[in-house]
């Protein structure tokens, strides 16, 4: 008889790693997490020199919901025997490679992880989920899908993408191999800013011509002020999830800089380096800062690339040429191929995204006691915090509580300092949650 797991996790990145760390404290609950890669490497292609974490190190895998866990960032520092040095360094923002090493340390020590184990197909046999991994079959009662987002290559760049026109997720591997003298960066968020800072700070690119292109009206900072940070709290996410879809989408459009701006420290470093290049250096590097430009088309013409842009400031159409193009154009949702056998049973919205309930469970037509959870797939349902590290511990604890059918992790919090919903909506939401009344449709 085939042994059946309580949960099978697909993908081992920070989010499923957090879930595995929480489940590690549950006796009698058997979970296994699978990933095709031989080990956990967190965005290795983006580990440029000097990159920093935009999130507090306290928002690690477990601390917010399970502070006594052996898998916290503090436990990692103690295990590495550098707790005091870390404190004395007094980082304003910790180096991203440090957090990556923390994630790797946890992944090397959790017994429930299986690397070099590609899940090729997932189906449901009427009772349990069946996972095919090469010649091995695994059976599980529940699933946790956390395969991450895909690098977003805009439609206008598809034809040009290649060795010298690439997504910033490959920047650390490819930038220093470029031989051309004209480099264009498309994207004004943190990733684009990090690529820009690397290019203008490296002697290797001295004398180059560098274009930094952004669709935003300026090179804008991440809004990490205290009240904006309230968007990254459980109370806000719970309120956001109750809203109708159309209202959620409108709100998300207004919150871009809360989750996708460049760190002020990075922007300052860029500006100071520009000052040095312009006024204190004999370096002939040419810098073109071009915000408020929407790229309309990108073509390869011989050995160079031609970008056609609309200037949002004055409406003009402009052209730029470059020897290489870095696409700092974000990430996009995609359903993994291994889920294809289940697609006819899963509820998707108009954009082809999962429909998720408050507990991050995908709506599907299977038995009520068989669940599919999706992590980093609910930006449209749970808000801008969903793809960020900020609430991964809370999300993991929420999923564990739902799996166990009890409040194993105490997630009760006082009322937030900001009142998001009207009293009428809040009261109706409470009644709906106890099954007495449906949530009203707003707007």
pLDDT tens, 136-167? Answer: 999 999 999 999 999 999 999 999 999 999 99
Residue 222 has pLDDT above 60, yes or no: yes
List all residues 6 or more positions away from 411 whose beta carbon is below 8 Å from its beta carbon: 65, 234, 394, 397, 398, 401
Which two structure tokens, joined as six digits, stand for 270? 């860029």
Using CA atoms, how far residue 90 sits from 85, 86, 96, in Å, is 9, 7, 15
Q: Could you tell me if 166 and 286 lie in one domain?
A: yes
Q: Could you tell me if 87 and 182 lie in one domain?
A: no
Which two structure tokens, joined as six digits, stand for 65? 């919901």
Q: Could you tell me if 110 and 218 lie in one domain?
A: no
Strand 4-5 vs strand 317-322: parallel, antiparallel, or unpaired?
unpaired
Residue 41 has pLDDT above 90, yes or no: yes
| 124 sits in which H/E element | strand 121-124
List all residues 6 or more positions away from 63 whose beta carbon is below 8 Å from its beta carbon: 69, 72, 73, 74, 393
Averaged pLDDT for residues 240-253: 95
Containing domain of residue 159, as a range? 151-222+261-331
Number of domains in the chain: 2
Q: Could you tell me if 162 and 187 lie in one domain?
A: yes
pLDDT in tens, 158-204: 999 999 999 999 999 999 999 899 999 999 999 999 999 999 999 99
pLDDT at position 427: 60
Averaged pLDDT for residues 103-132: 98
Residue 27 has pLDDT above 50, yes or no: yes
Q: Could you tell me if 166 and 305 lie in one domain?
A: yes
Q: Are 385 and 231 in contact (CB under 8 A)?
A: yes
Which of 315, 331, 347 is the last residue in one of the domains? 331
Higher pLDDT, 15 or 135: 15
Averaged pLDDT for residues 306-312: 98
CATH number of the domain residue 36 falls in: 3.50.50.60
**Domain contains 294:** yes
Q: Could you tell me if 190 and 315 lie in one domain?
A: yes
Residue 428 has pLDDT above 70, yes or no: no
**Domain contains 114:** yes
In the structure, what pLDDT confidence band is assigned to residue 3 with cuts at 50, 70 and 90? confident
**Domain contains 327:** yes
Residue 440 has pLDDT above 60, yes or no: no
| Residue 43 neighbours by CB distance under 10 Å | 17
For residues 353, 356, 361, 367, the Cα torsion angle rounded to the nearest 10 degrees is: -90
**Domain contains 253:** no
pLDDT at position 100: 98
Interhelix angle for 14-23 vs 392-404, to 10°? 50
Which of 284, 299, 331 is the last residue in one of the domains? 331
**Domain contains 229:** no
pLDDT at position 282: 87
Q: Could you tell me if 174 and 49 lie in one domain?
A: no
Q: Could you tell me if 156 and 145 lie in one domain?
A: no
pLDDT in tens, 264-307: 999 999 999 999 999 999 888 999 999 999 999 999 999 999 99
Residue 438 has pLDDT above 50, yes or no: no
**Radius of gyration, CA atoms only, the chain:** 23
| Spatial separation of the C-alpha atoms in residues 120 and 101, rounded to whole Å | 28
Residue 441 has pLDDT above 70, yes or no: no
Strand 293-301 vs strand 209-213: parallel, antiparallel, or unpaired?
unpaired
Averaged pLDDT for residues 47-54: 94
Q: Provide the edge-to-edge strand list for the sheet that holds 209-213.
A: 165-167, 324-327, 182-186, 209-213, 286-290
Burial class (CB in 10 A: 0-12, 13-18, 19+), 85: exposed
Residue 1 has pLDDT above 90, yes or no: no
Q: Could you tell me if 81 and 27 lie in one domain?
A: yes
| Spatial separation of the C-alpha atoms in residues 20 and 7, rounded to whole Å | 10
Q: Could you tell me if 114 and 185 lie in one domain?
A: no
* Mean pLDDT (the chain, rounded): 94
Per mean pLDDT, which range of 288-302, 378-392, 413-427 is the poorest?
413-427
Name the residue with tokens 């009890």.
406
pLDDT at position 429: 55
List all residues 6 or more positions away from 71 whose beta carbon is below 8 Å from its beta carbon: 21, 24, 61, 62, 106, 109, 110
**Domain contains 425:** no
Averaged pLDDT for residues 210-233: 96
Residue 25 has pLDDT above 60, yes or no: yes
List all residues 6 or more positions away from 345 whose beta carbon is below 8 Å from its beta carbon: 124, 364, 365, 366
**Domain contains 430:** no
Q: Could you tell me if 177 and 293 lie in one domain?
A: yes
Q: Could you tell me if 286 and 337 lie in one domain?
A: no
Bridge partners, residue 322, by sequence: 305
**Domain contains 438:** no
Which of 290, 307, 331 is the last residue in one of the domains? 331
């Amino acid at each position: 008889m085939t042994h059946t797991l309580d949960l099978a996790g697909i993908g081992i990145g920070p989010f499923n790693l957090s879930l595995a760390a929480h489940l590690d404290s549950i006796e009698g609950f058997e979970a296994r997490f699978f990933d095709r890669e031989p080990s956990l490497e967190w965005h290795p292609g983006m580990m440029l020199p000097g990159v920093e974490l935009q999130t507090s190190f306290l928002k690690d895998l477990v601390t917010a919901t399970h502070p006594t866990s052996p898998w916290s960032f503090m436990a990692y520092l103690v295990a590495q025997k550098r707790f005091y040095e870390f404190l004395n360094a007094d980082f304003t923002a910790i180096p991203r490679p440090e957090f990556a090493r923390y994630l790797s340390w946890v992944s090397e020590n959790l017994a429930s992880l299986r690397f070099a184990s590609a899940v090729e197909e997932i189906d449901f046999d009427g009772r349990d989920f069946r996972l095919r991994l090469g010649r091995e079959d695994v059976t599980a009662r529940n699933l946790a899908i956390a395969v991450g987002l895909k690098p977003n290559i805009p439609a206008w760049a598809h034809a040009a993408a290649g060795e010298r026109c690439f997504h910033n997720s490959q920047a650390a591997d490819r930038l220093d191999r470029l031989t051309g003298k004209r480099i264009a960066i498309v994207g004004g968020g943190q990733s684009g800013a990090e690529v820009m800072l690397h290019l203008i700070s490296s002697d290797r690119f001295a004398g180059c011509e560098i274009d930094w292109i952004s669709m935003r009206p300026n090179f804008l900072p991440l809004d990490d002020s205290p009240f904006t940070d309230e968007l990254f709290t459980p109370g806000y996410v719970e309120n956001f999830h109750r809203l109708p879809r159309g209202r959620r989408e409108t709100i998300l459009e207004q919150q871009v800089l809360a989750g996708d701006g460049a760190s002020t420290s990075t922007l300052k470093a860029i500006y100071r380096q520009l000052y040095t290049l312009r006024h204190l250096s004999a370096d002939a590097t040419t810098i073109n800062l071009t915000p408020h430009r929407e790229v309309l088309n990108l073509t390869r013409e011989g050995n160079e690339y031609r970008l056609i842009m609309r200037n949002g400031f004055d409406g003009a159409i402009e052209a730029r040429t470059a020897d290489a193009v870095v696409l700092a154009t974000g990430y996009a949702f995609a359903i993994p191929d291994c889920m294809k056998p289940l697609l006819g049973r899963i509820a998707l919205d108009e954009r082809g995204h999962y429909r998720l309930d408050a507990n991050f469970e995908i709506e599907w037509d299977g038995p009520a006691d068989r669940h599919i959870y999706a992590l980093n797939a609910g930006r449209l349902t749970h808000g801008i915090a969903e793809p960020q590290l900020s609430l991964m511990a809370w999300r993991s604890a929420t999923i564990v509580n739902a799996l166990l059918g009890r409040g194993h992790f105490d997630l009760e919090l006082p009322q937030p300092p900001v009142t998001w919903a009207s009293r009428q909506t809040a009261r109706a939401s409470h009644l709906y949650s106890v099954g007495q009344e449906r949530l009203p449709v707003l707007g």
